[in-house]
Amino acid sequence: MTAPIDVAPGVLVLTSRTMCTTSTVVHDGKRALLVDPAWHADELEGIADLLTARDLRVELGWATHAHHDHLLWHPRFGPAPRLATPSAAATARAQLTEIRTALAPTLPAELRALAGQVQELDGAQLPWSGPVAEVVVHHGHSPGHGALWLPEVRVLLAGDMLSETEIPLCAETGIDAYVRGLERLAPYVARAQVLVPGHGSPAYADNQDSPMARLAADRTYLDALAAGTGEQDPRLRDAPDWLLAEHEANAASR
């Protein structure tokens, strides 16, 4: 895992060695909101070490969606509630065996047993005493995908959307739902100083690879997909086999 990056005041991002999966710590200097901690046992230990070193107590956990790499936990994070949107929490319950099976190659049994233990939150804002975190719900990529908007620092934690390393992954909920998901996120993207994807690196408003550029790239891919030319997306150059397979699935469903 990479060293933590302070992308904005009170927002730390760490990146896994697997699929550039990001973990985010939102904090006020004392209390922490832990979003999508991932992925390997030593990396989860590293997050716990960071929290200890900075004297941060986890008050709440948030899973942006119900995929196995976003539902992890570690005993050292403590007994804080772990929340997700109602649809994501329901999916996690229904697919708990599959989620833990998918983690078998990378996690010991004691950590797999903690995966997927999320409760539903049917609300527009996370119930914690730290900085305001608004829930932005849509059904692109996965049912009940719950991005977080941090208005005080204008940071969007986008979950598995708007990545510079991955094309839109539409297979689970369909292309139309993905398009609607992008439109749901668009007003927040336009205001964001920083965008943190679930896989990849943060995008900054003052860079060429900005949040708006990420949104434009995903829209361009989906438009090209409809025209039968989506394979020209630069993210597919030298892409791993699994990402090429996702593109083929997108193309087959258009």
Q: What are phi and psi of 219, to 5 degrees?
A: -65, -40
Bond before 149 cis per omega within 30 degrees? no
DSSP 103: T
Q: Burial level of 154, CB count in 10 A (0-12/13-18/19+)? A: middle
Q: How does pLDDT run along the chain (254 residues), one tens digit per residue?
A: 778 999 999 999 999 999 999 999 999 999 999 999 999 999 999 999 999 999 999 999 999 999 999 999 999 999 999 999 999 999 999 999 999 999 999 999 999 999 999 999 999 999 999 999 999 999 999 999 999 999 999 999 999 999 999 999 999 999 999 999 999 999 999 999 999 999 999 999 999 999 999 999 999 999 998 888 888 899 999 999 999 999 999 998 87
Task: Quote the domain boundaries for residue 50.
Answer: 5-253
Task: Please tell me the predicted confidence (pLDDT) of residue 3.
Answer: 85
The C-alpha atoms of residue 243 and residue 236 are separated, in whole angstroms, by 7
Task: Please tell me the predicted confidence (pLDDT) of residue 2.
Answer: 79
Q: What are phi and psi of 124, to 5 degrees?
A: -95, -5
Task: Please tell me the predicted confidence (pLDDT) of residue 231.
Answer: 86
**What is the model's pTM?**
0.96
Number of domains making up the chain? 1
Residue matched to tokens 């668009």:
186
The C-alpha atoms of residue 64 and residue 54 are separated, in whole angstroms, by 24
163: CATH: 3.60.15.10
